[in-house]
Structure 1
């Protein structure tokens, strides 16, 4: 037995109770129909070209039904007699390579077959202007050559800064469409200036008259499409802030504000740009964003397959497993940090041999006097918060709430002989 095992073997793990959290659940019933109706409603405000190719910009986030949304946009553009093609709009993601960005789209289900249009992925850009402070503004070369551009993105709170515009159409135009060079320019002076820079860069891009419109997607707390709006280019700046406020009000959360240990089954770029959404965990990589619960220790158990080894976000965790460390592809993880100039998300937490030791290490270092008082929450990911597990000590805070349902009696942790957690026994199918 190693010294580390000796130090942790007697750390008790609390019994856990499965609970169901309930949030408002607006949902778009028919995505294809919603896209058509939104385009029809705004059609007269959009300066459609009289033919030619149109670039449809799609990002790297795991947006609900993004392949269906993209296909519906493509079909609508074809109805207007246009020839749509897809451009990855993801800054430096996908390892900052053309091949990597196409792979990211394909991992999200956005393939040439599924969306019925070609994908043209390149890191080449065209400089389209300069901000007053001298920062250059870039645009994807293929998109710039097209007769017009349609930008598809989800609107939600950002994970590293606060502003009137955060993650949405404006940011996609400034950073996603600008590829690695555009992302690098916007991040040059850090996130303290981001809220200002993305608006100024987007205004430069809109002034080129290349942008036709944005397709804004809002999700509910269950990661389902709750609303779709087409924003004509001339109205993107004016209309997006209200949509951001709607998105903020629809965010799910852990219904406990003070947590000693949070165990997260998996993180990845397909879950959040930060691997796990800081708006849920309260752990931010910069001082320019706040909110969420107060958590002493976070344990991460694994990376998602779709993150392709990109461990961005692991740096804000406190303990993890050797399995996670072995899955890291640093060539996929570091480009985002080097571009954003924020290195905290790619640092390494304490690495333990297995799940049990990683969780015990988090408990041991959380400074709780009485073992039975430990406040521990276990989630599958920051995108999956309907069913969570909480320690017995948290039940008094949750019982009697209309938005919480207890699903099980107290359970012990089902570790196998190697100290790995068998989650198939834990979560409802």
Structure 2
């Protein structure tokens, strides 16, 4: 027999005979305690950004590439890339020294709601402003169709880049969150999707993730034949969100060099310390942590129709508690979670979220999980839904899916973690604690 019970305005379906909600005990009763764990990740690092950029541009003989007086467009994307303002400023400065007239062009696909105002806000938050970098920042929603690929895909590019005398492509190389291929996120994707703005992003994503690995390089190659691309600057980051590699690449080498850098990026990608969990608690999701709000490479969930889920990591329940301010309400990826809070949902800009997910075609990632009034209730229900002895729950608590150097592990994981030489237990065990309004208190 089942009975509906209303608590704080939310209807819960409880099984009669198993006790009223308030009689089932407060959250944490029976749960294992948690310990702070530090992961020791590989840490190659560029010590001097400006010096490294100059060194790389010298390798490709920049003064011979840039013609005096030419207007040179440099791509500026929406991702939170470490040191991106310094990198872009250094590139533009070297172009100036070679006699060129650089400017930044917004290249972010459908991000920022696909509008000039939205794009400008995102770039400003990243420190990409004219007063900071000393060059104009051109933002609009205008594109030009350059033609079609041999397969019939239309090729779009930001008008400002098409009208420039030269184009420089700058982007981070990393594993994509929706498909696997020899080239994933990087210079080619910045061209096909970023510079393509909403129309270009729509062309790529409407084919589905199964075709993206083929489509992105094909569109980018066509753009390379039709645009005066001077060079690319590829960036790889380590697990501490630091610049690990900066590499200048000539246009004809984009595809091959990016393949090599992608393998380096995979080695440096931060991961959870175990491959099997009952519960993952994510304190904050957002576009500044991953294009999918929570990195699919970390949580082991694609939630893309027709694409099999990864074998590892295997996580039975995911709870996400909040949305970062830097996401500007874009909650793409909320559908990767099973439970969330009213606090997060109130921050969602549904227009921006839906545009992002409709453009990519990954509509499942915009679907709301179960919503509860507080952190405490969301975690409580997640634990109950496992239908297992709470004291045996294998759980991790993380700040977000980008910063995994420090996290919190349930004591049930300690035997497995103790075998790892790259992990350190930092403090004594403690129970989860909550404020009087049910918000999780930082350990």
Shared fold (TM-score greater than 0.5)? yes
1:175 maps onto 2:175 in alignment: no
Task: Give the whole-Å Cα distance in 2 for the aligned partners of 1:117 and 1:45.
Answer: 19
Counterpart contact for 1:261–1:375, Cα < 8 Å: yes
Which residue is equivalent to 1:362? Answer: 382
Task: Give the whole-Å Cα distance in 1 for the aligned partners of 2:309 and 2:232.
Answer: 26
Structure 2, unpaired ranges of 5+: 1-5, 15-19
SS in 1 for 2:213: helix
Change (3 A) 1:291 1:153: farther
Task: Give the whole-Å Cα distance in 1 for the aligned partners of 2:208 and 2:64.
Answer: 34
- What is the TM-score with the length of structure 2 in the denominator? 0.92
Which residue is equivalent to 1:417? Answer: 436
Counterpart contact for 1:278–1:292, Cα < 8 Å: no
SS in 2 for 1:267: coil
Which residue is equivalent to 1:14? Answer: 32
Task: Give the whole-Å Cα distance in 1 for the aligned partners of 2:303 and 2:137.
Answer: 33
Shift of 1:397: 0.7
Change (3 A) 1:122 1:366: same
Which residue is equivalent to 1:395? Answer: 414
Which residue is equivalent to 1:284? Answer: 302
Which residues in structure 2 correspond to 1:70-81 (within 5 Å)?
A: 70-81=88-99
Which residue is equivalent to 2:129? Answer: 111
Name which of structure 1's ranges 125-134 and 256-265 shifts more when overlaid on structure 2. 125-134
Shift of 1:370: 2.0
Change (3 A) 1:409 1:46: farther
Match of 1:336 among 346, 356, 368: 356
1:346 maps onto 2:366 in alignment: yes
Which residue is equivalent to 1:295? Answer: 315
Counterpart contact for 1:87–1:119, Cα < 8 Å: yes
1:38 maps onto 2:22 in alignment: no
Structure 1, unpaired ranges of 5+: none
Which residue is equivalent to 1:149? Answer: 167
Aligned-CA RMSD value: 1.7
Change (3 A) 1:75 1:290: farther
Task: Give the whole-Å Cα distance in 1 for the aligned partners of 2:184 and 2:38.
Answer: 30
Cα deviation 1:231-259 (Å, max 9, x = unaligned): 11121122110111111111111111101
Change (3 A) 1:116 1:44: closer
Which residue is equivalent to 1:408? Answer: 427
Shift of 1:382: 0.9
Task: Give the whole-Å Cα distance in 1 for the aligned partners of 2:63 and 2:340.
Answer: 51
Which residue is equivalent to 1:309? Answer: 329
Shift of 1:292: 4.2
Counterpart contact for 1:334–1:346, Cα < 8 Å: yes
Counterpart contact for 1:311–1:328, Cα < 8 Å: yes
Match of 2:344 among 321, 324, 332: 324
Cα deviation 1:333-369 (Å, max 9, x = unaligned): 11111111110111100000000111111111123x3
Counterpart contact for 1:161–1:288, Cα < 8 Å: no
Name which of structure 1's ranges 379-388 and 284-293 shifts more when overlaid on structure 2. 284-293
SS in 2 for 1:303: coil
Match of 1:218 among 220, 223, 236: 236
- What is the TM-score with the length of structure 1 in the denominator? 0.95
Match of 1:380 among 385, 396, 399: 399
Cα deviation 1:160-216 (Å, max 9, x = unaligned): 000010000011111101110001111122111101110010001100242111110
Task: Give the whole-Å Cα distance in 2 for the aligned partners of 1:119 and 1:74.
Answer: 12
